Structure 1
Amino acid sequence: MIGFPIYIYSVSIDLFGLFGGMPSLKAIENPENDLSSEIISADGTSLGRYFRYNRSQASYHDLSPELVNTLILSEDHRFYQHSGMDFVAYLRVLSGILTLNPKGGGSTITQQLAKNLYTQNPDMGLDGTFSKLGKYPRRVIQKTKEWIISVYLERNFTKEEILAMYLNTTTFGNNTYGIKVAAETYFNKSPDSLNIQESAVLVGMLQAVTRFNPVSNPENSFKKRNEVLAKLFRYGYIKTREEYDSIKELPIELTYKVQNQNEGLAPYFRTVIQNDLMRWCKENGYDLWDSGLKIYTTIDSRMQRYAEESMREHMTYLQKDFAQSWEGRDPWIDDNYAPIKGFLDSRIKQTETYKSLVARYGENSDSLKIMLKLKKPMRVFSWNGERDTLFSSMDSLNHYKRFLQAGFMSMDAHTGAIKAWVGGIDHKYFKYDHVKQGRRQPGSTFKAFVYGTAIETGYTPCQRLPDISPSFDLPSGTWRPLNAEGGYGDGTRYTLRQAMARSINSISAQLIQKVDPVNVVDFAKRTGITSPLEAVPSLCLGVNDVSLYELVGAYSAFVNQGIYTIPYYITRIEDKHGNVIEAFTPKTRQAMNEQTAYKMVYMLQGGIQEEGGTSRGLPRELKIDNEIGGKTGTTDNASDGWYMGISKDLVSGSWVGGDERSIHYRSWSSGSGGKTARPIWSNFMMKVYADASLPYKKGKFKTPDSGIDITLDCEQYEVVEDPENTESWSQDDIR
């Protein structure tokens, strides 16, 4: 008998290197698992995870009583009576072996936890001399180490901690590790909400994950679940035969969804911030994929859901309208509205499929052409849901190039916190983000910076200018911008507020001529536009590409009394123990004085309030007891439609356009921002205001603390002649 303790001690210290290393006591007391890093919304909802192995920790208090009791009664009903090893169970196993009547395994939950930690810990190697003698010695030594680890676990952890650790270190198949992720994956629940039959399904999988998987082997899973339920009845947890008979007849009701970056809320947001997080992790010594970080964001899950719903609802309609407008024709056209020859042939060369086939067959081979046109089973996106079809690579490209794309972002104007981010119409099929990654011509939404520069210079919202397009002498010749409806203006005099509300090109061109494009660039940069801007006259029409992210941030400076806040989306990062590693605060700067900012808010309200304003078509419900403003934007060929909307607290923007600039509506009016982009904003705001749980309510914009330094009542405004004396222009200038 003395030999057994000596053997145990020899294994524990790896005597003469015969048995292979044992983990240190510290490693056992602090078991390390690869843990996914979780992204959490401002209102406490999980938005998703970054993981190599999809694992997330749950504490004992996160487990439902049904789950705990199901696990114990099924796997180790004397769990609370033993100290890691159940000698009664060992005798039962030995009896079964001797009588050739197996009666189940003898491993306790603690031993199973030890095994999980053993197999997942590279420090617990089997590299000793004895371990190289064969399978049986290896198994004996491994089992011995599990016993030793079990004793350590029982000494250093409570029973409750051991239960939670075991469930956290167990795999449930389909890249699902730990009970928290398993509950979410199979039942779309947290572990504290699992009922008896759901707990029995998951506990049953512990015996053989693949054989008893409810997705791949539903019949086996059903039988195993009922075996587990039978144990619960036998041990009295299920009180009556009637209850047991009732539960065991219930079908397994799954809500199965494998977690990945295409699923759940804010997939574009999660993908975009991944690069920021990886950079942060590299600088701070963490691994995003297995450090178990908690990343707290500014995104509000309710507002994010409303944004995604608003885009889906409108884009479903818009895509149908777009397809009908091009029925029988291809939507990729040149500047003369003629079909672009060889469009798909040129675009297929940009795909990974083409590059892969070229590497295999050669660029000019017949095999390449055959493979590109070879039809194969394929699942494709549609607004009526995914559909299975037979498509070649060329068919697929032709299919996807016909879809309109979109982007939407909403931000708290006073804090800089981004509340909703929708980068595209479907992350699974369209990866490109149209909030921060994409840049397109902003059209007339850029006029806000032209008017802002003029207001800052001394112009007022009530000042009047004639609708006459000025001339610009350029190296390439004379340039005069046309108005949206064509022509160079009819000479009608408009206040600046009316002109901006109607988006009259001729008057924004006059302003940029008077204030100088260089000053407009400076103003735009101060308010947050970081993309390159050319100080040229055509800047007044929004010809330089910018991102939706930049525009929303810049418009927020108007609402926030002239203070620009860099839009931000991460508030703090915690380690796996809940310690705050870093907290993030918004960065601000004074972009303009509060007088200029408020006048621009008043100007933007003109789109709703002035006759002919491009925001007049907004729903009446949005306007009741509420001050809002907005600006549409449409590029010359209607390849980009924009809408920037402001309320007293929120600034939000939407963009709609083709995958490429050559893909657009056949007419400017059909593709205008008022039709394509504005409804997304209005639908979103209606949903936000309807949710009483959100802090964003209707109300009035804040006025400057010092009061308004001019009258905004244009009927009472004293007309001051423009220093350039525009009235001296002759009728010959009006064409």
Structure 2
Amino acid sequence: MTTNTNQFKIRIKKIFKNKWVKWLSVCAGAILLFLVGLYISIYLGFFGKLPTTEELSSIKQEQATQLLDHNGKLIGKYYIYDRQPVEFKDFPKHLIDALVATEDSRFYEHDGVDNISLMRVFVKNLILRDKSAGGGSTITLQLAKNLYGRKNYALFSMLINKFKESIVAKRIEDIYSKEEILTLYLNTVPFPDNTYGIESASLKFFDKSVKDLSLNEAATLVGTLKANTYYNPRVHQQRSEDRRNVVLNQMVNYGYLAKDSLEFYSNETLELSYKSYNHDLGLAPYFREAVKQELSKILDTLKTPDGETYDLYKDGLVVHTTLDYQMQQYAEDAMKSHLTKLQSDFEASYGKYTPWNDNSKVLKAAIQKLPIVKKYKEAGLSDAQIKDSLNVKRNVELFGWKGDTIKNVSVVDSLKHYLKFLNTGMLSIDPKTGAVRTYIGGIDYRFFKYDHVSQSERQVGSTFKPFVYTAAIENGLDPCTYFSLREVTYTNYDDWTPSNAGSDEEDPHINYTLENALSNSVNTIAVKVLEEVGIPKTIKQVEKLGITHELPNKPSLALGVSEINLKELTGAYASYVNKSKPVKPFLITKIEDKNGNVIANFEPEVAESQAYNDYTRQVMLQMMKSTVNSGTATRLRNTYGLRNDIAGKTGTTQNNKDGWFVALTPKLVTITWVGNDNHSIGFKSTGIGQGANSALPVFAKFYQKLNKDSDYKSITNAKFESPSEDVINDLDCEPTKRDGFIKRLFKRKNKKKKFD
């Protein structure tokens, strides 16, 4: 035994006398000293301060602000990183099993670092200089990376970052339980499409909370962690399914899934229900932008418990809004359905001679208004140089109702493309409070950022007439007063002669009651009613309705030449079903901090006093019911089959530039506008451009959808108040009256007079 031992010692000495062995030993020792020295220097903070135990105990992560509808359903977020934390109890077991099996099979055994795997990475990185060495990352190490990121160093970057992460990982393991580590990890890990945290990813890709994820859905999301762009299920479905199946196999290998279940789950086709919360996409983007604008002002007035200003993008606020998610979806679907067809009819009506063709004055004027043209001129470019620059082609994504396309186009080509599109604005509110239930600011926020609800002011056309009639009734005009259809030329207003659509066929000897005149939107009578009541009294009445726009002191006021914001118009019309009190449409009900504490509340702004009396309101409501039942909006009944209690008013402006429809129901007031953003472009004909054809169908299709949804019966089945006996009696007259023979004999067809 002693002889064998001596021989072994002699061999060892000989080996270490070999110069190569000596050299390798020195190298190994040097490497070891280097690693130890590097580790100590990192630990001491020479490569950046490491988080202390105290800091790790109170990890503060940036959280997205959530936007909820009035029923608590998520409709959008504001974020830098799309992160929405949840608790461990919300994670289904198969999600945790899939994660551990795929990312860290020894998660429950190690202390945050898998030393064998980590050493493999060190050797590859140090000796082989393999920058893609990877591997060795436990869930805790990944969490450390997610929380504090990585820095680039001149040398040994991967090694330094791995050492830093290992120190942080061990500290995390000392502070938190395994459940808490999994919770922190799943709330911070990045998923595809700039999404951080499992709850955000679950909502985005499957439109459900994490607690409701199926096994396959959970495996799909876990599979993306290897490379969230490469395995993005929205972009690469087959690749994502293959990766999901790898996760399922790992679950079988580690006993988390029965082997006989593997084939069943592996053969399932991946079905996404993608809901983007990107600000340009998803439901109600114009509404979300409007809320953001309000929040930026509100948050400036609020302070955190620490005295800091709230950060909309980082502090995890919860904003409760008035919007109704499902109702908004119905409204958007209705808008898209109608505008697709209307756009086709609009373009066809112009034929070859369109306002947006190469030689049109409209196009030439629009080119001169382009910001890029103004910039070129300021830079001193000649007209020829500017023209050349504007005709340079490049690949651009273009909006289209049949689908967006990427085309090689110039600035001028793009301008011609977008000049032709009709746009829209639609708002539905609860008339009792002003709470906004639907909000459509345009046809597609990605391409048309201008908001036609909050920003736009357009001529309102005949939708202004009810305000004139309201002023008249309020000031004592009998509802059964008759006015002649005949045209009148007002000499003191440049011989202005208002006329009616189809006036060539009208009998100037026919007289209409107020109800018949309003329901058929007769221009000549609207001006005469304005003359009867007076412009000052009418303006005063409109101001009581909450409309702040300066109104013109001229008879054309009766025909809606004023440009009024859609929100103000809707709030004014709410008075007809809200005890004569206008409201101010509002979007936000309350704001909570991330802990659920209410930091701001918002109450409805309803006028304290009536804008007009109950009698006037009931008369006007009966008149606007006639608009729907027998007047300009009868297609609601005849074409769309709506049998609900509805009152309304159509509107069309001069040269068919704007189409409007106002719909009043007992519990919902909706106004829709349709037109072109370029004021020089109108509808080719009244048949296409009139409010009954351009704007009314959006509401009609929207309400058809509400009628089919039992959840909205309280709205769709609601009934108007019964008018008083006085109102019924005062409206009980023949709608028309023809002049007698003598009066017809001496009555001039076109009378000239001054507007009093």
In the alignment, structure 1 segments of 5+ residues that lack a partner are 1-5, 334-338, 720-726
Matches within 5 A, 1:425-440: 425-440=443-458
Output the CA distance in 2 between the equivalents of 1:218 and 1:299. 33
Aligned to 1:294: 318
Q: Distance in 2 between matches of 1:133 and 1:394?
A: 51
Query: Based on CA coordinates, which of the two structures has the bigger radius of gyration?
Result: 2
2:16 counterpart residue number: none
**8 Å Cα contact 1:421-1:435 kept in structure 2:** yes
- In structure 2, how many angstroms separate the alpha carbons of the residues matched to 1:581 and 1:332? 51
Moved more, 635-644 or 666-675: 666-675
Alignment counterpart, residue 68 of structure 2, candidates 40, 60, 79: 40
Q: Quick one: structure 1 residues 340 and 9, their matched pair in 2 at CA, closer, same or farther if it must change by over 3 Å?
A: closer
State the identity as a percent. 35
Deviations 1:367-415 (A, max 9, x none): 4322322333333222211123332221111111111111111111112
Q: Is 2:332 the counterpart of 1:314?
A: no
Please give the alpha-carbon distance, in whole angstroms, between the structure 1 residues aligned to 2:732 and 2:685. 38
Residue number in structure 1 paired with 2:496: 479
**Aligned mate of 2:198, from 179, 186, 199:** 179
AA matched with 1:85 = G
User: Are 1:113 and 2:131 matched, yes or no?
Assistant: no
Query: How far, CA to CA, are the matches of 1:25 and 1:712 in structure 2?
Result: 83
For 1:541, the equivalent position in structure 2 comes to 559
Alignment correspondent of 2:32: none
Residue range with higher mean Cα deviation, 592-601 or 298-307: 592-601
> Take 2:702 and 2:627, find their aligned partners in 1: how far apart are those partners?
18
Residue of structure 2 in register with 1:603 after alignment: 623
Query: Residue deviations 1:310-341, cap 9 Å, x none?
Result: 111111111111111101111369xxxxx985
Distance 2:572 2:352 in 1: 41
For the 8 Å contact 2:656–2:682, the answer to whether it is kept is yes
- When residues 637 and 33 of structure 1 are mapped into structure 2, their CA distance, relative to the original with a 3 A threshold, is same
Say whether residues 1:732 and 2:755 are aligned partners.
Answer: no
Aligned to 1:85: 112
Q: Deviations over 1:80-126 (max 9, x none)?
A: 566x436xx43576599899999995554334323322338xxxx99
Give the 5 Å matches for 1:487-502. 490-502=508-520
Cα distance in 1 for partners of 2:527, 2:745 equals 15
Show the counterpart of 2:570: 552
Is the contact made by 1:303 and 1:420 (CA closer than 8 Å) also made in structure 2? yes
Q: What's the secondary structure of 1:408's corresponding residue?
A: strand
- Structure 1 residue 146 corresponds to structure 2 residue 168: yes
Distance 2:438 2:121 in 1: 61
Conservation of the 8 A alpha-carbon contact between 1:483 and 1:489: no
Residues 561 and 598, structure 1, Cα contact 8 Å, conserved in 2: no
Pair 1:211–1:541, CA change in 2 (3 A): closer
Counterpart for residue 415 of structure 2:
397
Match of 1:3 in 2: none
Give the aligned residue type for 2:318: K
Matched residue, 2:28 = none
Check whether the contact 1:292–1:576 (CA below 8 A) recurs between aligned residues. yes
- Structure-1 separation of matches of 2:503 and 2:289: 42
Q: Bigger CA drift: 396-405 or 478-487?
A: 478-487
Distance 1:409 1:346 in 2: 32
Cα distance 1:626–1:371, how it changes in 2: closer, same or farther (>3 A)? Answer: same
Q: CA deviation at 1:38?
A: 1.9
Q: How does 1:629-644 map to 2 (within 5 A)?
A: 629-644=647-662
SS of the aligned residue for 1:461 comes to: coil
Please report the RMSD computed on the Cα atoms of aligned residues, expressed in angstroms: 3.7
* Aligned residue identity for 2:312: L
**SS of the counterpart of 1:702?**
coil
Query: Which secondary structure does the structure 1 equivalent of 2:457 belong to?
Result: coil
Equivalent position amino acid for 1:233 in 2: V
Q: Which residue of 1 aligns with 2:295?
A: 277
TM-aligned CA deviation for residue 471 of structure 1: 5.1
Counterpart contact for 1:563–1:588, Cα < 8 Å: yes
Mapped partners of 2:385, 2:535: distance in 1? 54
Question: Which residue number in structure 2 is paired with residue 29 of structure 1?
Answer: 57
Give me the whole-angstrom Cα distance separating, in 1, the residues matched to 2:158 and 2:560: 76
- In structure 1, C-alpha distance between the alignment counterparts of 2:338 and 2:514, rounded to whole Å: 32
Please give the secondary structure, in 2, of the residue aligned with 1:619: helix
Maintained 8 Å contact 2:322/2:587: yes
The one of 87, 90, 99 aligned to 1:71:
99
Counterpart contact for 1:470–1:509, Cα < 8 Å = no
Cα 1:624–1:29 shift into 2, 3 Å: same
User: What residue identity is the alignment partner of 1:206?
Assistant: L
- Equivalent pair of 2:50/2:164 in contact (CA under 8 Å): no
1:714 corresponds to: 731
Per-residue deviation, 1:620: 4.8
SS at match of 1:463: coil
- Paired letter, 1:196: L
SS in 1 for 2:402: coil
Instruction: Say if 2:551 and 2:562, in contact at 8 Å, map to a contact too.
Output: yes
How many positions carry a matched residue from both structures?
695
Deviations 1:528-571 (A, max 9, x none): 21222123211001011012222111110111111111111111
Is residue 51 of structure 1 aligned with residue 69 of structure 2? Answer: no
**Aligned-pair distance for 1:573?**
1.2
> Residue 202 of structure 1: which of 184, 209, 221 is its match?
221
Alignment partner, residue 446 of structure 1: 464
Structure 1 pair 517/697, CA: closer, same or farther in 2 (3 Å)? same
1:687-728 CA distances to partner (integer Å, 9 max, x unpaired)? 112211123122421247xx55444453479x9xxxxxxx99
Q: Contact 2:231/2:239 (CA < 8 Å) preserved in 1?
A: yes
Separation of aligned partners in 1, 2:155 and 2:420: 65
TM-score by length of 2: 0.83
8 Å Cα contact 1:153-1:162 kept in structure 2: no
Residues 1-40 of structure 1: matches in 2 within 5 Å?
Answer: 20-23=48-51, 25=53, 27-40=55-68
Q: Would you tell me which structure has more helix in proportion to its own residues?
A: 2
Cα separation, partners in 2 of 1:712 and 1:699, compared to 1, 3 Å: farther
The CA deviation string for residues 666-696 of structure 1, in whole angstroms up to 9 with x for no partner, is 2233311111111111111121122111231
Who is 2:187 aligned against? 168
Query: What is the deviation of 1:463?
Result: 2.7
- Once the 2 structures are TM-superposed, how far is the Cα of residue 731 of structure 1 from its aligned partner? 1.1
Instruction: Specify which of 241, 246, 251 is matched with residue 232 of structure 1.
Output: 251
Aligned-partner Cα distance in 1 for 2:546–2:625: 21
In the TM superposition, what is the alpha-carbon distance from 1:527 to its structure 2 partner?
1.1
Q: Take 1:315 and 1:212, find their aligned partners in 2: how far apart are those partners?
A: 37
Work out whether residues 489 and 496 of structure 2, in 8 Å CA contact, stay in contact via their aligned partners in 1.
yes
Match of 1:417 among 430, 435, 446: 435
Give distance in 2, aligned partners of 1:216 and 1:625: 45
Sort the Cα spacing of 1:151 and 1:452 in 2 relative to 1 into closer, same or farther, 3 A. same
Partner secondary structure for residue 459 of structure 2: coil
When structure 1 is superposed on structure 2, of 340-349 and 396-405 the one drifting more is 340-349
User: CA, structure 1 residues 343+191, in 2 after alignment: closer, same or farther (shift >3 Å)?
Assistant: same
Deviation at 1:640, TM superposition (A): 0.7
Q: 2:21 — aligned with what?
A: none
